[in-house]
Amino acid sequence: AQKITQTQPGMFVQEKEAVTLDCTYDTSDPSYGLFWYKQPSSGEMIFLIYQGSYDQQNATEGRYSLNFQKARKSANLVISASQLGDSAMYFCAMDYGQNFVFGPGTRLSVLP
């Protein structure tokens, strides 16, 4: 069964604005990790940000931040000040136990 849900197949955002990409997950493991990856049209998978289930603070990496709400089992990615180069597929992923699962992805298009 799919453990990661990304409800937005596609999103548009105006350049320089912030955008939130949704991710919810389902696991009964107390220890897990949540990840976001970016896949531009060139095809490579680029690691963006990581949040551990026991981390007290939300993860941040430059313009990327992860809005981690453990009780709601959500791990939304926030991109601030969007740039044209942010246009890509974004995948939420989780590792739990000895498994690693990806969500279906959200295609983000940044408009000039």
Applying CB under 8 A, the residues found at the interface with another protein are 29, 31-33, 35, 37, 39, 43-47, 50, 52-54, 89, 91, 95-102, 104-105
**Nearer of residues 44 and 57 to another protein, judged by Cβ:** 44
Nearest approach, Cβ of residue 1 and another protein (Å): 12
Closest CB to another protein among residues 30, 112: 30
Q: Which CB, 78 or 104, lies closer to another protein?
A: 104
Following CA atoms 38, 42, 80, 21 in sequence, which dihedral angle do they give, to the nearest 10 degrees? -40
Shortest separation between residue 99's beta carbon and another protein, angstroms: 7
Comparison of 46 and 81: residue with beta carbon closer to another protein: 46
d(CA 33, CA 39): 19
The answer to whether the beta carbons of residues 92 and 41 sit under 8 Å apart is no
Q: Give the residue among 109, 67, 73 at the shortest CA–CA distance from 94.
A: 73
Cβ-based neighbours of 12, under 8 Å, separated by 6 or more: 108, 109, 110, 111
Q: How far is the CB of 38 from another protein (least distance, A)?
A: 11
**DSSP tag of 32:** E
Rounded least distance, CB 6 to another protein, Å = 11
